Chain A
Amino acid sequence: MKEVNLLYFPPELFYTKTHEWAKDGETITIGITDYAQNLLGDIVYVELPEVGSTLTRGEELGTVESVKAVSEIYAPVSGEVVQINEALADNPALVNQKCYTDGWFLKVKAADSEELKTLLDKAAYFTTLTGE
């Protein structure tokens, strides 16, 4: 795989140690990071919750199936699912190709608008990957 310093982590996003990203906005958009998609390899299936379901921070919200493994995705924030990325059903490879844009997973109406700020910023997430 690529070296960690060749991976891309947009500065405006928030991150978890478990490799999810969250983007602030009217709703919070959630996906997995370049590190995660790179390590998993070809993503062949994404299992997402239904619109209207409730997420609790740190709990499993779905799974990503790659050629090699089935991995759980954890909720970076608590809230209600308002939209899921329907395009992933037919084209899960979008997560490999554009993990921060077309490969997003779902949008959440946050239960607590301050919760997002407690996640890692780019620099802190990068440190968890390099251990430096």
Chain B
Amino acid sequence: MALHMEPADTERTQLKTPLYQWHLDHNGTMAEFGSYLLPLWYTNGAKAEHLAVLSTAGLFDTSHMSFIILQGPASFDLLQNFFSRDLSKWGKNKDTPLPVGRAVYGVFLNSEGCLLDDAIVFRVAQNTYFICVNAGKGPLITNHLRSQQGQYTLTDLSGALCKIDLQGPHSAKILATILDDPKAIFSAFPFFSCKGTLAPHFTTEIAVATRSGVPLLLSRSGYTGEFGFELFTEADQGQVLWEEIFAAGQSFGLMPCGLAARDSLRTGAGLPLAGHDIGSWPFVNNPWLFSLPQDSSTGKFSKDFVGAQALLRPEASFTYPFAGYDLRKIDRDLATVYNLTGEKLGRVLTCVTDMAIGRVDGRLVSINSPGLPEGFAPRGLCCGFLLTSSKLSYGERVIVQDERRKFEVEIVETIRPDCSAVLPLNQFIRV
């Protein structure tokens, strides 16, 4: 058979996270991603790992991400000029600045309106922002920001931190067993908020540490679409923190998870992978336009920022999520999209199998959807994103085809329904 995947060549000079040896010791099947050697999956396999995040909890090493600290009085203006979100208009009514302890997802664009990278920006103090970007993108984004002068400092902490994602319904219960004073931490802790410290760089109003004394920044966020947390700590504390969570999680069904499950979970949740689903084409007509500073009352942007003008030009490129009718995938690199009469529409950006979804009477459901038929056990559906040159409608069927396979998929607004990420914390733990 043709394996189309070779085991990672561990002799080459690839980057290793602080948890690299742990992955090897736990039989992680390693592969290179963003120059880092990371596990694709462990002995339970990607399917079990994917399902664990919906039913118990999963633990991910995401230390390959890049981290930037922006400090100083000009920080706000710098982000207003370069980042796509309007940090002066936050909240349901978009009438307050992003508060300390809150975070937003957005993008950095070039002047042509094309993606440099996507990012989560955390406001961690009055004039301090913690920015999490993709693997290897630290220098790109810091150089981009430095093109504007002002009273600020930029610190690229890539490689200096350990980032651990704990995702799934039991995440809070697991953390409660290892955190010092979990009650204080978990009270008033909504989605996209953070607490804790990244000493010596900053401390938010509430310190967060494990009972064993590991200080950390704890954020109620993640990239799986499910309830959970992202934890940041200094690289040399990473293994202790990971082992503590892993040990505490054993009685909650916690599973270590690799890149494959991360990819299938984020796709099912409708989240883009930078470089695949958003990239070197204008950031328009896609499912992630909430990243732009749209003012719903005027229909215009509420601020100007780098790339904004280019986005106003008419552009015939459209990105849609899709879901198929069985679990078979096509090769995204070779796949073309056609309409039902055989006319070429575009190409496939991502195609994976979300193992937690299926269809009931044609309708998409997940294993966490309410009112499922008795004994419902889906085998998963192929899903992903596609880029077309013409506008499509939700519910419309198109054909995806690679060298080997050809099948119909449905253009959908939501791939995996009933994701838990945004649910209130008190649905998962009594606080």
Mark interface residues in B1-43 (1 if CB within 8 Å of A CB, else 0).
Answer: 1111101000000000000000000010110000000001100
At the interface, is chain B mostly helix, strand, loop or mixed?
loop
Contact B1 A36 (CB under 8 A): yes
The chain B residue sitting closest to A38, CB to CB, is B29
Of the candidates B47, B331, B379, B405, the one whose C-beta lies within 8 Å of that of A67 is: B47
Contact A69 B327 (CB under 8 A): no
Of the candidates A44, A67, A74, the one whose C-beta lies within 8 Å of that of B1 is: A74
The chain A residue sitting closest to B39, CB to CB, is A1
Contact B329 A39 (CB under 8 A): no
Distance to closest chain A CB from B27 (angstroms): 6
Of the candidates A1, A63, A72, the one whose C-beta lies within 8 Å of that of B7 is: A1
* Interfacial chain B residues near A18, Cβ < 8 Å: 1-2
Give Cα A55–Cα B356 distance, bound, in whole angstroms. Answer: 36
* Interfacial chain A residues near B329, Cβ < 8 Å: 65, 70
Known A-B contacts A1-B29, A63-B404, A65-B328; the reply to A42 vs B2 at CB < 8 A is no
Distance to closest chain B CB from A51 (angstroms): 21
The chain A residue sitting closest to B352, CB to CB, is A67
Distance to closest chain A CB from B324 (angstroms): 12
Of the candidates A42, A64, A74, the one whose C-beta lies within 8 Å of that of B46 is: A42
Contact B45 A41 (CB under 8 A): yes
> Is A117 on the interface with B (CB-CB < 8 A)?
no
Number of interface residues of B (CB under 8 A): 28
Contact A39 B328 (CB under 8 A): no
> Is A29 on the interface with B (CB-CB < 8 A)?
no
> Is B197 on the interface with A (CB-CB < 8 A)?
no
> Is A80 on the interface with B (CB-CB < 8 A)?
no
> Is A19 on the interface with B (CB-CB < 8 A)?
yes
* Interfacial chain A residues near B355, Cβ < 8 Å: 44
Contact A72 B353 (CB under 8 A): no
The chain B residue sitting closest to A18, CB to CB, is B1
Give Cα A76–Cα B30 distance, bound, in whole angstroms. Answer: 29
> Is A40 on the interface with B (CB-CB < 8 A)?
yes
* Interfacial chain A residues near B5, Cβ < 8 Å: 39-40, 68-69
Of the candidates A65, A69, A96, the one whose C-beta lies within 8 Å of that of B3 is: A69
Contact B40 A68 (CB under 8 A): yes
The chain B residue sitting closest to A68, CB to CB, is B260
Mark interface residues in A11-43 (1 if CB within 8 Å of B CB, else 0).
Answer: 000000011100000000000100010111110
Number of interface residues of A (CB under 8 A): 26
Contact B3 A36 (CB under 8 A): yes
Contact A41 B1 (CB under 8 A): no
Distance to closest chain A CB from B276 (angstroms): 15
Contact A44 B379 (CB under 8 A): yes
* Interfacial chain A residues near B7, Cβ < 8 Å: 1, 39
Distance to closest chain B CB from A74 (angstroms): 6
Contact A71 B327 (CB under 8 A): no
Give residues of chain A (1-17) contacting chain B, Cβ–Cβ below 8 Å: 1-2
Contact A70 B40 (CB under 8 A): no
Known A-B contacts A1-B27, A1-B29, A63-B404; the reply to A44 vs B3 at CB < 8 A is no
Contact A45 B328 (CB under 8 A): yes
Distance to closest chain B CB from A40 (angstroms): 7
> Is B380 on the interface with A (CB-CB < 8 A)?
yes
Give Cα A64–Cα B331 distance, bound, in whole angstroms. Answer: 13
Contact B45 A67 (CB under 8 A): yes
* Interfacial chain A residues near B260, Cβ < 8 Å: 41, 67-68
Give Cα A86–Cα B45 distance, bound, in whole angstroms. Answer: 23
A-B contact pairs, 23 of them (CB 8 A): A1-B7, A18-B2, A36-B3, A39-B5, A39-B7, A40-B3, A41-B46, A42-B41, A42-B46, A42-B47, A42-B48, A44-B355, A44-B380, A45-B328, A67-B45, A67-B264, A68-B46, A70-B4, A70-B329, A70-B330, A71-B2, A71-B3, A74-B1
Chain B contact residues, CB within 8 Å of chain A = 1-5, 7, 27, 29-30, 40-41, 45-48, 260, 264, 327-331, 353, 355, 379-380, 404-405
- Other than the given A19-B1, A41-B45, A44-B379, 8 more pairs (CB < 8 A) read A18-B2, A42-B45, A44-B327, A44-B355, A67-B41, A67-B260, A67-B264, A74-B2
